[in-house]
């Protein structure tokens, strides 16, 4: 790809991103992290530092950094990325063709930021980040969207991890009720989580 199209061609950059993702999916998180770093730097050089493709590459680099065993760095990288998205979305001068591709990814990387914040050892901060995020997820994607449901599941987890197992139990119960009503098969997967937090709540 590099030889035939050049290092900065969209096809080459897309191939770098795919290589990074599949390297991680194959179980080599450190390799994916390093490839994503190269992908991010090349994309920034070719497209500019705040192009949506660059922000996506930086997010992937942050994610694989966490998966490679450094959740604190992943959290910090994602914090910067979330701030970049927020600023670009607030700038009314940003052209619509640039603004629209940022809306969904902005929420996605906020989810990742909240997750890696919790994994870095701050469950209370993760809980609060999810609480801020959930209304936006429901408004943009709708309450039944897979990403919204996943965010609610993680939010309940971090409520429990932050020291309130009874609240986590109740949140899982509400999720199971709603998902069962919507005939979403994910409801069956949450029974174990609900039971675990119910046990924790009784022991407290």
Domain at 33, CATH number: 1.25.40.10
The boundaries of the domain holding residue 199 are 122-204
Residue 7 and residue 47 in contact, taking contact as beta carbons nearer than 8 Å: no
Tell whether 48 and 128 lie within a shared domain: no
* Domain identity same for 85 and 2: yes
All residues at 6 or more sequence positions from 29 whose CB lies less than 8 Å from its CB, including other chains: 64, 67, 68, 69
Among 89, 121, 153, residue at a domain's last position:
121
Would you state the pLDDT for residue 16? Answer: 95
Mean pLDDT across 81-85:
92
Asked whether residue 103 falls in the same domain as residue 28, the answer is yes
pLDDT tens string 38-71: 999 999 999 998 888 899 999 999 999 999 999 9
Statement: the pTM of the whole predicted model exceeds 0.85? yes
At 162-196, the pLDDT tens digits run 999 999 999 999 999 999 999 989 999 999 999 99
Query: For 47-80, what is the HEC assignment?
Result: HCCCCHHHHHHHHHHHHHHHHCCCHHHHHHHHHH
Which of 62, 87, 121 is where one domain is finished?
A: 121
Residue % of the chain over a pLDDT of 70: 94
Confidence of residue 99 (pLDDT cuts 50, 70, 90): very low
Q: Mean per-residue pLDDT for 8-23?
A: 95
pLDDT at residue 102 greater than cutoff 80: no
62, 92, 121: which is the final residue of a domain? 121
Residue 111 and residue 204 in one domain: no
**Are 36 and 134 in a shared domain?**
no
Q: Tell me the mean pLDDT in the region 121-150.
A: 93
Counting the structural domains of the chain, the total is: 2
Sign, CA dihedral 137-36-74-159, equals positive
């Amino acid at each position: 790809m590099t030889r035939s199209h050049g290092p900065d061609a969209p096809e080459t950059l897309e191939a770098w991103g795919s290589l990074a993702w599949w390297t991680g999916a194959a179980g080599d998180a450190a390799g994916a992290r390093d490839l994503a770093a190269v992908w991010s730097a090349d994309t920034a050089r070719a497209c500019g530092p705040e192009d949506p493709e660059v922000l996506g590459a930086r997010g992937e680099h942050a994610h694989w950094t966490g998966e490679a065993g450094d959740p604190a760095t992943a959290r910090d990288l994602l914090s910067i990325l979330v701030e970049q998205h927020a600023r670009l979305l607030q700038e009314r001068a940003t052209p619509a063709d640039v603004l629209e591709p940022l809306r969904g990814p902005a929420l996605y990387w906020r989810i990742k930021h909240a997750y890696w914040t919790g994994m870095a050892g701050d469950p209370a901060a993760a809980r609060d980040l999810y609480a801020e995020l959930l209304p936006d997820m429901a408004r943009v994607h709708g309450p039944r969207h897979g990403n919204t449901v996943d965010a609610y599941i993680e939010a309940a987890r971090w409520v429990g991890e932050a020291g309130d197992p009874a609240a986590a139990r109740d949140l899982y119960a509400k999720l199971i009720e709603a998902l069962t009503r919507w005939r979403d098969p994910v409801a069956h997967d949450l029974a174990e989580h609900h039971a675990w937090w119910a046990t924790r709540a009784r022991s407290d």
